[in-house]
Amino acid sequence: MIDNYTLGMIGLGTMGRNLLLNMADHGFRVTGYDKDPKMLKKLAEDGAEHNLKGFEDLNDFIKSLELPRRIMLLVPAGAIVDSVISELVPLLDKGDMIIDSGNSHFTDTSRRAKELSDQGIHFFGMGISGGEEGARFGPSMMPGGDKEAYLSVKPILEAVSAKVNGDPCVAYIGPGASGHFVKMVHNGIEYAMMQILAETYDLLKNGLKYNNEQIYNLFDKWNNGRLKSFLLEVTKDIFKVKDEKTGGLLIDFIKDEAKSKGTGKWTTQVSVDLQLPIPTINESVSARDLSKFKSLRVNLAAALPHQAIAIEDAAAFEVKLEQALYFAMITAYAQGLHLLEQASVEFKYELNLKEISQIWRGGCIIRAELLEDIFQAYTKQPKLPHLFSDPGIQTQLKDIIGGTRQVIVSAIQSGIAIPCYASALTYYDSLRTANSPLNLTQAQRDFFGAHTFERIDEEGIFHANWNTNN
Ligand code: 6PG
C-alpha cells in the first residue's frame, strides 16, 4: 500500500487527534495510528470533512508514509514512549524521523536522541503548549534537537501554530533536549502563575470576603488591563460555571487537593542541581504537595486557629492587589527565564530568550500581554543578565513594589498563606541587596570547618583563628 502521507501521528488521544485535524485543515496529507479502535473511530468522525483516516495496524501505517518518514508521537510521557519507539524502529529506514511531542523529561529525550542517532534515525523532542484548543486551532511549539529533521517538518509546524502579528509561535529552540527543557520550564512558570492566582482568590475570598460574582467581576476588569492573559481569562470564567448537581457554582464543590504530572517538580529539581534559584516556582510545587495533607490541615486549623484581621478599604486593597499580582507574574517569568539562561550554558542549548519569549506570546498556557514587554526587553538586549535588569521592567517594578509590600503585610496579618507572593517579594529583595548577610555564613563555615573565605579588600583565600575566647 502506498499512500504517501506527509506525516503520521502515533497516539490519537485528544492532543494527537486535534493536532492532526489542525494539520489536515491546513491542507497537509496526514494520517494516524492508535491501538484503540475507539480513537480511530473518533478520528474518522471528527476528520470526515478531510477524509482523515487512521490505521490500527502499525505496519500498514508505516508503509503509508512517504520517505523519509515523519512520525510524531503524542503518547503519555515515560515508559510508553520507549515502548512505542522500540516497536517502531525495526520497521523504519535510515533517515526516517521521530518527533516526540509529549511532556517527556529532557534527560529521556537526550538518551533517546543518542540511541536513535546510533541507528540512523533522526529524533527530536518538541514541547507543545495550549491544551486541547491549542492543538486544534494553534498551539505554541518548542522543537529542539536534530535540526535537519526539524527543517523537514518546519512548514507543517509553522502552518499549524498560533500566530501573533503574523509570526508563528514555533521556532527551532536549539540542540539536544532543549525543546523539552524549555517546555518543562514553561510549565514551571505555569505552575507559579496558577498558584499566584489561587493565592489572589484566597485573599479576595477570605481577606475581603468577596463572593464569586465579585471575584469574577474583578478578574474580568483586570483581564482588560496589563494583566490580560490566558490563565486569568480562564480563571475568571471558572467563577461563572454552575454545578449541575447542586445548582451552586462548581468551584465551591471541588476538593482543594491539587494533582500534578511532574513537569513543575522537574523544573524545581533541575534548578537545585544547577544552583539557580527559582523560589516562586518551587513554592508553587510545594503548595500543590502541601494541599494533599487535607486531614492534617483540617485538624491543625481547629487546633491552631488564627484571629484574622479583616482587610479594610476594599477599593484601595483591590488597586494594590492588582499591582502585587502583576509583580508576582513578572517574577515568575523572570525566574523561569533565568533558569533557561543558566541551562543554556550548562547544557550548551544555545537558547535565544528573545525567540522563546516571542513564541510564548501566543498559543501556550502562559501567554500574556506581559510577554510582549519581555520580548521587547530581550529584543533590545539579547544578553540581558536578568529580566529585572531591563530598564522598562525596572520602571514597572518601582511603580508596583509599594502596593505589593502592603498586600503581603495584610496577608501575613490575616493569616492567609501566600507562599508565591511572599517568595516573589523576598526573591526581589534578595536580588536588590548589594551587601547580603552571607558574609556571616562564610565566617561560620570557616569557624567550625576551616572552609576559608574571601575578603572584600584583598584578593585571595583566607582562614582565620576564630576561637579568640579559648
Ligand atoms: C500546556 C500544559 C500541559 C498540561 C500540563 C499539566 O502547556 O499545554 O502545560 O502540558 O496542562 O502538563 O500539568 P499538571 O498536570 O502537572 O498540572
CATH superfamily of 183-431: N-(1-d-carboxylethyl)-l-norvaline Dehydrogenase; domain 2 (1.10.1040.10)
Q: Give the pLDDT of residue 469.
A: 66
Q: 351: Cβ below 6 Å to ligand 1?
A: no
pLDDT, tens digit, for every residue of 399-445?
999 999 999 999 999 999 999 999 999 999 999 999 999 999 999 99
- DSSP labels for 275-311? T---HHHHHHHHHHHHHT-HHHHHHHHHHS---PPPP
Q: Give the pLDDT of residue 309.
A: 74
The CA distance from 308 to 383, in Å, is 46
For ligand 1, the distance from its centroid to the CA atom of residue 364, given in whole angstroms, is 10
Residue the block writes with cell 509561535: 169
Closest by Cα among 146, 105, 142, 139 to 124: 146
Closest by Cα among 54, 139, 149 to 100: 149
**Whether residue 190 lies in the annotated active site:** yes
The angle subtended at Cα 250 by Cα 244 and Cα 252, nearest 5°, is 135
pLDDT at 257 over 70: yes
The pLDDT of 330-352, averaged and rounded, is: 98
1 falls in which pLDDT band (50, 70, 90)?
low
Residue nearest (by alpha carbon) to ligand 1 atom 7: 129
Helix (H, G, I), strand (E, B) or coil at 145: strand
**Whether residue 459 lies in the annotated active site:** no
Q: 331: Cβ below 6 Å to ligand 1?
A: no
Q: Give the pLDDT of residue 135.
A: 97
pLDDT at 108 over 90: yes
Closest by Cα among 368, 367, 377 to 397: 377
* List 190, 199, 283, 322, catalytic entry: 190
The angle subtended at Cα 263 by Cα 258 and Cα 266, nearest 5°, is 115
Q: Give the pLDDT of residue 62.
A: 98
The pLDDT of 317-343, averaged and rounded, is: 98
Q: Give the pLDDT of residue 2.
A: 59
CATH superfamily of 438-469: 6-Phosphogluconate Dehydrogenase, domain 3 (1.20.5.320)
Q: Give the pLDDT of residue 422.
A: 98
- DSSP labels for 221-279? HHTTTTT-BHHHHHHHHHTTPBPTTTSSBGGGGS-S-----SHHHHHHHHHHHHT---H
For ligand 1, the distance from its centroid to the CA atom of residue 367, given in whole angstroms, is 14
Residues, the chain:
470
Within 10 A of 152 (CB to CB), how many other CB atoms are there?
Answer: 18
Could you tell me which CATH class the domain 7-176 is placed in?
alpha beta
The amino acid sitting at 315 is A
pLDDT averaged over every residue in the chain: 97
The angle subtended at Cα 77 by Cα 76 and Cα 80, nearest 5°, is 70
The CA distance from 335 to 275, in Å, is 12
Q: Give the pLDDT of residue 468.
A: 76
The amino acid sitting at 312 is E
CB distance 329 to 193 below 8 Å:
yes
The amino acid sitting at 386 is H
User: Which of 230, 263, 266 most suits a substitution to test ligand 1, by most atoms within 8 Å of the C-beta?
Assistant: 263
308 falls in which pLDDT band (50, 70, 90)?
confident
307 falls in which pLDDT band (50, 70, 90)?
confident
The pLDDT of 162-191, averaged and rounded, is: 98
470 falls in which pLDDT band (50, 70, 90)?
low
The CA distance from 108 to 85, in Å, is 12
CB-based contacts of 202, cutoff 8 Å, min separation 6? 416, 417, 418
Distances (CA, A) of 442 to 195, 276, 293, 449, 462: 34, 19, 37, 10, 11
Percent of the chain clearing pLDDT 90 (strictly above): 97
* List 41, 132, 183, 320, catalytic entry: 183
Which atom of ligand 1 is nearest to 190's Cα? 9
pLDDT, tens digit, for every residue of 285-306?
999 999 999 999 999 999 999 8
The pLDDT of 114-135, averaged and rounded, is: 96
Cα end-to-end distance, the chain, whole Å = 89
Residue nearest (by alpha carbon) to ligand 1 atom 1: 129
pLDDT at 51 over 80: yes
Domain boundaries of the chain, sorted by first residue:
7-176, 183-431, 438-469
- DSSP labels for 54-76? EESSHHHHHHTBPSSPEEEE-S-
Q: 182: Cβ below 6 Å to ligand 1?
A: no
Surface-to-core class of residue 417, CB atoms within 10 Å of its CB (0-12 exposed, 13-18 middle, 19+ buried): middle
The pLDDT of 50-60, averaged and rounded, is: 95
Q: Give the pLDDT of residue 3.
A: 77
Distances (CA, A) of 256 to 291, 298, 365: 7, 12, 22
137 falls in which pLDDT band (50, 70, 90)?
very high
Q: Give the pLDDT of residue 88.
A: 97
pLDDT, tens digit, for every residue of 364-408?
999 999 999 999 999 999 999 999 999 999 999 999 999 999 999
Q: 130: Cβ below 6 Å to ligand 1?
A: yes
The pLDDT of 198-226, averaged and rounded, is: 97
